[in-house]
A and B are shown apart, each in its own frame.
Chain A
């Protein structure tokens, strides 16, 4: 080191310093220690940098790149739904909608609020509703949220001109569901809506994603896979706030959905719905007991040869357009489509043809008749007494017509719907050996009662076919503490009342129609279905074609004795044509021979006064032309009184449309 010259010190000498400060070995050790720490620190930093950039660089680069790519789905136009002749039932209509791109809204809360408030005023949508809609989509900032659809040209123009004042608001054309016939076949067609979380969980593997539109009921739901098409894909670059950067790059163009053609006949469907309204109106005006409360019903019309459904009506109904675009809760409430308001409107969303079960009453008698003949406990031409009352074990069962007193064969008993005749048949079933099991129910089950028909739309009820085993299971100490020892037994009264379709028995109109189709087609059980075919619309390069779809199962033979069927068919023909037939007054004047059976089923209803009343459910089931049936019809009017009062006249209206002919004359109705 350099020589030390004390006198040349730059700093004044420290008087306390006895010897000059210098780098002692002690200090050197300490500085060396710090130097080692420094070297260790830099070594660590270099090694870590090397590890991140060189060793893991590729992987982290990929992570960084994935940060900014977003794939956005482009919705595909949904397929149309047509009737069997190709007339549109549901189509799409282009609509101008206002959407909010949440990621592009103003950043500050006050600016955002000011903009939304202005937007609410222009669109006449409450600000609260906009806020609620945005909150629902707050985790998906890239999918624009529709605030209002079907805005006027003036509104669109206003928003377009002031695009700078409305950042994040865009006006675009989308295709929305359009229902040219409004409420027509609403229950069958169903409606579409945003996919729910439950649906998403169940269907994610089929390519459904949040924000998708999906059929929520009816055909729209059942054949969603054909109707929805394939959404396209676009690629976006986004920044950390999810804001779009640069142009979108189309990756896959959307493929439009396929057209679904139904077996429905538009004209017949219109007629059926009109007939249903007519039947209800007629029942209300008839003055019969409880008929003032006639407030609903169902009509099923199907082709007895293959089970294709020509018309399916349910009343009350609703316009599916309520679910299009921005769904307003208040409108749904007013239409009875929310749980809160459904009861007061008598459940308009319910498809009564398949999803409601009623006691069938006398329309059940053909089932009893066929089963009894098959079991050889009844000879078709064996006369049985038809009286005003039937007494068994001290219990009295009444006939609907208390004044009748004559012997009847099966055809007459069917034609005049004699209850006491069938009580005796029912008791014969009761008297059969127990080891054979409940034979009437066995035949009914073979005819499809107590089980789903397998129709390809919506939720379906299986009804209730009571058996001794069912009673034993249902009435236990727990469920029926007072009377379970009695109630769990199958008693004579159960068999007797089952024979005329009363007591515990419940069927859906479609089940009954299917049975009458079996009677009409000579013993084959059809599977009711609505799908005719699925057609791929012609695109720019490919011609339209019919897609392969699973065919409905072929009609299944039930191996019913042809003679037994003939007897029943004759009975049904007489019911509409012989002088005392229950619906002869209505159908005898119709140029096409119609066969069919009325029914008056007793059901306990609370019409709103807090008490249960025994109201009659009005039924008519039948087919025409009688010798080679083309159409099977089942009509139910809730609380409609006697079958001949409401249901049969409604059925006639449908036949008139179907055959293009009108009935000429009417006589007095003498019906159960």
Chain B
């Protein structure tokens, strides 16, 4: 442990408050390092991947992504500095505000490719559902921390479930099926880490399965389609990839070709024809992993996955370090949401997960996703610092 050597000095310097140096020392530098590496690696990959996408401006996406990352880093620093207890006590406001934002998007947002996810702020297209991932975890964790003595009561679990349903339903209506799934995963993790009894968790799981069966199987059969046709096709398309190579599974086929073509060492940015000749659609957003794998090969892709693994590990470590339920719940929820996004996005490009419009954290071009994920990391760091301090 780094701080062992200076423990005495630290004790001497600060009793109730923590000095800047101590604060900085107690940050999780492995987490910072791995996230920094992720963002840097992502920018480097984006620079090559999008070089030909906008004629006349090879750095179009790179500049934007760099600006987003800078804003994100500022937000991260802010998140680190704010005491998480602020969120814990104000979870109602967070919940209400976020729900309101998502509702506004649903009512006013611009439809892009049939889905209203963005609020146009003029300089920036703001996607509340990305920030919602972080904010709802905070709100739910606040609620559960408040009721940590009553976790065994069914009422607690049902209320938590009811609260969770609001954003899930709103996002589902946008429709942003991918984000709704991420929310579900986060809610599950939050409840699990909070200590909800297994029986309740089992009940919620069964309910979720029942809803899935209803939405995917029973209701369409009864003539009430809940999912749009394309959503259903995407969800089931990866199960039989050769069903329609020109249509729904075109993306998957091209994506798998791109990844496979990378082989061990990658084809390099100039020869990565799947990307440069545009066979791979959305290669700077949803399918960025496939492009990276094509250009940098197994080495490059595996390196990215290792960085993610590092981040996830550090996140779970915070859960174990937590000195109060709120810390553990927030850390658990954020890390599982991140893990879920990584799996669904990377799995989608490799044909083992359904196609949902989930971006690859820290790499896909997109301001909301980048900033929201960096805020989440800031929260984790902040929780880490407080947990470490509480340990003294």
Which residue numbers of A lie inside 8 Å of B, CB to CB?
Answer: 1-2, 4-5, 8-12, 14, 16-17, 20-23, 26-28, 30-31, 33-35, 37-38, 41-42, 44-46, 48-50, 52-54, 56-61, 63-65, 67-68, 237-241, 245
- When the two chains form their complex, are residues A49 and B298 in contact, meaning their CB atoms are under 8 A apart? yes
* B: interface residue count bin: 35 or more
* Apart from A9-B389, A21-B322, A53-B301: 18 A-B pairs, beta carbons within 8 A: A1-B391, A10-B386, A11-B323, A22-B323, A23-B320, A27-B328, A34-B335, A37-B339, A41-B343, A42-B312, A45-B305, A46-B305, A53-B262, A54-B264, A57-B264, A67-B257, A68-B277, A239-B279
From B124-132, B216-224, B344-352, the one touching the partner chain is B344-352
- When the two chains form their complex, are residues A68 and B273 in contact, meaning their CB atoms are under 8 A apart? yes
Offer 10 A-B interface pairs, CB within 8 angstroms, sorted by A: A10-B18, A21-B328, A27-B328, A30-B192, A30-B193, A30-B195, A41-B343, A49-B305, A53-B263, A68-B273
Which residue numbers of B lie inside 8 Å of A, CB to CB?
Answer: 15-16, 18, 83, 85, 149, 189, 192-193, 195, 254, 256-264, 273-274, 277-279, 281, 293-294, 297-298, 301-302, 305, 308-309, 312-313, 316, 319-320, 322-325, 328, 332, 335-336, 339, 342-343, 346-347, 350, 352, 386, 389-392
The verdict on A61 contacting B346 (CB below 8 Å), with A21-B322, A238-B277, A241-B278 known, is no
Measured in the bound complex, the distance between the Cα atoms of B196 and A30 in whole Å is 10
- When the two chains form their complex, are residues A48 and B316 in contact, meaning their CB atoms are under 8 A apart? no
Measured in the bound complex, the distance between the Cα atoms of B308 and A637 in whole Å is 92
- When the two chains form their complex, are residues A68 and B324 in contact, meaning their CB atoms are under 8 A apart? no
- When the two chains form their complex, are residues B15 and A14 in contact, meaning their CB atoms are under 8 A apart? no
Measured in the bound complex, the distance between the Cα atoms of B346 and A48 in whole Å is 10
Within the complex, what minimum Cβ distance (angstroms) separates A567 from chain B? 76
Measured in the bound complex, the distance between the Cα atoms of B386 and A49 in whole Å is 38
Measured in the bound complex, the distance between the Cα atoms of B267 and A68 in whole Å is 15
Cβ-neighbour of B309 out of A42, A54, A238 (below 8 A): A42
Measured in the bound complex, the distance between the Cα atoms of B16 and A10 in whole Å is 7
Within the complex, what minimum Cβ distance (angstroms) separates B312 from chain A? 5
Residues of A within 8 A of B18 (CB): 10
- When the two chains form their complex, are residues A65 and B273 in contact, meaning their CB atoms are under 8 A apart? yes
- When the two chains form their complex, are residues A14 and B324 in contact, meaning their CB atoms are under 8 A apart? yes
Cβ-neighbour of A2 out of B256, B339, B346, B391 (below 8 A): B391
- When the two chains form their complex, are residues A54 and B263 in contact, meaning their CB atoms are under 8 A apart? yes
Cβ-neighbour of A53 out of B279, B297, B312 (below 8 A): B297
Measured in the bound complex, the distance between the Cα atoms of B66 and A282 in whole Å is 92
- When the two chains form their complex, are residues B293 and A16 in contact, meaning their CB atoms are under 8 A apart? no
- When the two chains form their complex, are residues B261 and A45 in contact, meaning their CB atoms are under 8 A apart? no
- When the two chains form their complex, are residues A53 and B293 in contact, meaning their CB atoms are under 8 A apart? yes
- When the two chains form their complex, are residues B343 and A45 in contact, meaning their CB atoms are under 8 A apart? yes
- When the two chains form their complex, are residues A34 and B336 in contact, meaning their CB atoms are under 8 A apart? yes
Cβ-neighbour of B298 out of A8, A53, A245 (below 8 A): A53
Residues of B within 8 A of A54 (CB): 263-264, 298
Within the complex, what minimum Cβ distance (angstroms) separates B97 from chain A? 24
Residues of A within 8 A of B263 (CB): 53-54, 57-58, 61
The verdict on A60 contacting B261 (CB below 8 Å), with A67-B274, A239-B278 known, is yes
Q: Which residue of A lies closest to B319 (CB)?
A: A31
- When the two chains form their complex, are residues A57 and B260 in contact, meaning their CB atoms are under 8 A apart? yes
Residues of B within 8 A of A59 (CB): 260
The verdict on A53 contacting B192 (CB below 8 Å), with A35-B316, A42-B309, A240-B278 known, is no
Which of A44, A60, A64, A245 has its CB near the most chain B CB atoms (within 10 A)? A64
Q: Which residue of B lies closest to A14 (CB)?
A: B324
The verdict on A60 contacting B257 (CB below 8 Å), with A68-B277, A239-B278 known, is yes
Q: Which residue of B lies closest to A241 (CB)?
A: B278
Residues of B within 8 A of A61 (CB): 260-261, 263
Residues of B within 8 A of A11 (CB): 83, 85, 323-324, 386, 389-390
- When the two chains form their complex, are residues A50 and B298 in contact, meaning their CB atoms are under 8 A apart? yes
Within the complex, what minimum Cβ distance (angstroms) separates A316 from chain B? 49
Residues of A within 8 A of B189 (CB): 34
Cβ-neighbour of B392 out of A8, A17, A38, A41 (below 8 A): A8
- When the two chains form their complex, are residues A34 and B332 in contact, meaning their CB atoms are under 8 A apart? yes
